[in-house]
Amino acid sequence: GENVEQHPSTLSVQEGDSAVIKCTYSDSASNYFPWYKQELGKGPQLIIDIRSNVGEKKDQRIAVTLNKTAKHFSLHITETQPEDSAVYFCAPPSGAGSYQLTFGKGTKLSVIP
């Protein structure tokens, strides 16, 4: 199965600053790399994902970068806002061809106004 490590576990930034969260995975055959945002008491919401044939993807203030050689992908949030405060999870597939996802332990992001 996939071994997933996510860092940092907590992150505090001033409003307007950038935040970066890194996810390391073990299965070199993985080809799908999503990031989820979970607000308190709610289910996770997909915020951005990338596939292995692309190195970077951006959606307004959110971006994901992928380094397949080093087996890690990162979430970048620019111009952070208080509403970005949440727990973020990376969740690569559990194995080549698997429909299951393996969730990282999560990063609690706090944006300080």
Partner 1 sequence: GAVVSQHPSRVICKSGTSVKIECRSLDFQATTMFWYRQFPKKSLMLMATSNEGSKATYEQGVEKDKFLINHASLTLSTLTVTSAHPEDSSFYICSARDGDRPSNEQFFGPGTRLTVL
Binding residues for partner 1, per CB under 8 A?
Answer: 32, 34, 36, 41-46, 49, 51, 89, 93-94, 98-106
- Residue 40 structure tokens: 């308190």
CB of 49 within 8 A of CB of 66? no
Q: How far apart are the two ends of the chain, measured CA to CA in Å?
A: 40
28 membership: H or E segment, kind and range = none
| Residue number, 20 or 49, with CB nearest to partner 1 | 49
Provide the minimum distance between the beta carbon of 44 and partner 1 in the complex, in angstroms, as a whole number.
Answer: 5
| Residue number, 34 or 74, with CB nearest to partner 1 | 34
Provide the minimum distance between the beta carbon of 32 and partner 1 in the complex, in angstroms, as a whole number.
Answer: 4
CB of 69 within 8 A of CB of 10? no
| Residue number, 97 or 113, with CB nearest to partner 1 | 97
Provide the minimum distance between the beta carbon of 112 and partner 1 in the complex, in angstroms, as a whole number.
Answer: 20
| Residue number, 18 or 51, with CB nearest to partner 1 | 51
Provide the minimum distance between the beta carbon of 23 and partner 1 in the complex, in angstroms, as a whole number.
Answer: 12
Q: Is 83 helix (H, G, I), strand (E, B) or coil?
A: helix
CA distance 109 to 29: 29
